[in-house]
């Protein structure tokens, strides 16, 4: 069972009050209690551009991947046999790889990295890792698990399809037991759409979230 964090002193406006860009609020902190309060309310943190200011976001529309709609191509099925998959074995390394990978809109600062590592140590954040035959970490993803919600934060790959294979493993874990869980991927990208991501209205997302929070979490290593 995850450990309960210290109570957050911050109160967030409702997600429905977001501006046209999906920004709900600016400020607060990245303590575990604050992060969990935000996810339960339909928000997630991301710095404002290249500044140190912390934004709390609830985009409309919101991207999710329905667990029964993940697209697994023939080539991806072949890739499933190429990698060894683990969970929560190298959380910090996965976050660091997501942080360091060269991408035009990188947002994972050292403060963000440290915040999710703290959340992981309490049992609320998890990773899925893909390893090569040589034992090298070549792909993975991480996110936050609250009840039946898994909020995907970031993913990376070094070898072909490695992050996709990690996602296939994650979806299988979330679908375990036939529980109605929710895989939130925040904003839709072409990459995520190719894997089955769809966009839904914020109001619909919040209804899905309310139901998901009542469900049991997916099984993760103890």
pLDDT per residue as tens digits for the range 186-219: 999 999 999 999 999 999 999 999 999 999 999 9
pTM of this prediction exceeds 0.75: yes
Summarize pLDDT for 117-162 with one digit per residue, the tens: 999 999 999 999 999 999 999 999 999 999 999 999 999 999 999 9
Cα–Cα dist 179/215, whole Å: 7
CB-CB contact of 139 with 156 (8 Å): yes
CATH of 62-212, one of 3.30.70.360, 3.50.50.60, 3.90.245.10, 3.40.630.70: 3.40.630.70
Q: H/E element holding 113?
A: helix 110-121
Domain boundaries, the chain: 15-57, 62-212
Cα–Cα dist 172/62, whole Å: 22
Calculate mean pLDDT across residues 20-30: 98
Could you tell me the end-to-end alpha-carbon distance of the chain, in angstroms, rounded to an integer?
8
Q: What angle do CA 42, 48, 54 make, to 5 degrees?
A: 60
Calculate mean pLDDT across residues 70-85: 96
Q: Which of 147, 126, 127, 124 is nearest to 208 (CA)?
A: 147
Q: What's the longest Cα–Cα distance across the chain?
A: 49
Q: How confident is the model at residue 222 (pLDDT cuts 50, 70, 90)?
A: low
With a CB cutoff of 8 Å and minimum separation 6, the contacts of 81 are none
């Amino acid at each position: 069972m995850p450990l309960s964090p210290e109570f957050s002193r911050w109160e967030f406006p409702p997600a429905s009050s977001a501006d046209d860009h999906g920004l709900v609020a600016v400020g607060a902190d990245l303590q575990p209690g604050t992060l969990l309060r935000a996810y339960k309310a339909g928000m997630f943190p991301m710095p404002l551009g290249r500044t140190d200011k912390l934004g709390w976001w609830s985009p409309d529309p919101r991207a999710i991947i329905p667990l029964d709609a993940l697209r697994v191509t023939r080539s991806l099925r072949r890739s499933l046999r190429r990698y060894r998959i683990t969970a929560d074995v190298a959380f910090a390394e996965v976050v660091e790889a997501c942080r360091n990978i060269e991408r035009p809109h990188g947002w994972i600062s050292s403060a963000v990295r440290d915040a999710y590592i703290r959340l992981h140590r309490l049992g609320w954040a998890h990773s899925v890792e893909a390893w090569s035959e040589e034992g090298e970490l070549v792909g993975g993803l991480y996110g936050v698990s609250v009840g039946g919600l898994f909020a995907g934060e970031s993913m990376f790959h070094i070898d072909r399809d490695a992050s996709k294979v990690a996602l296939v493993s994650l979806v299988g874990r979330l679908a375990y037991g036939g529980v109605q869980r929710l895989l939130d991927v925040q904003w839709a990208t072409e990459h995520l759409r190719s894997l089955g991501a769809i966009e839904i209205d914020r109001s619909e997302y919040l209804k899905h979230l309310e139901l998901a929070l009542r469900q049991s979490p997916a099984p993760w290593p103890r």
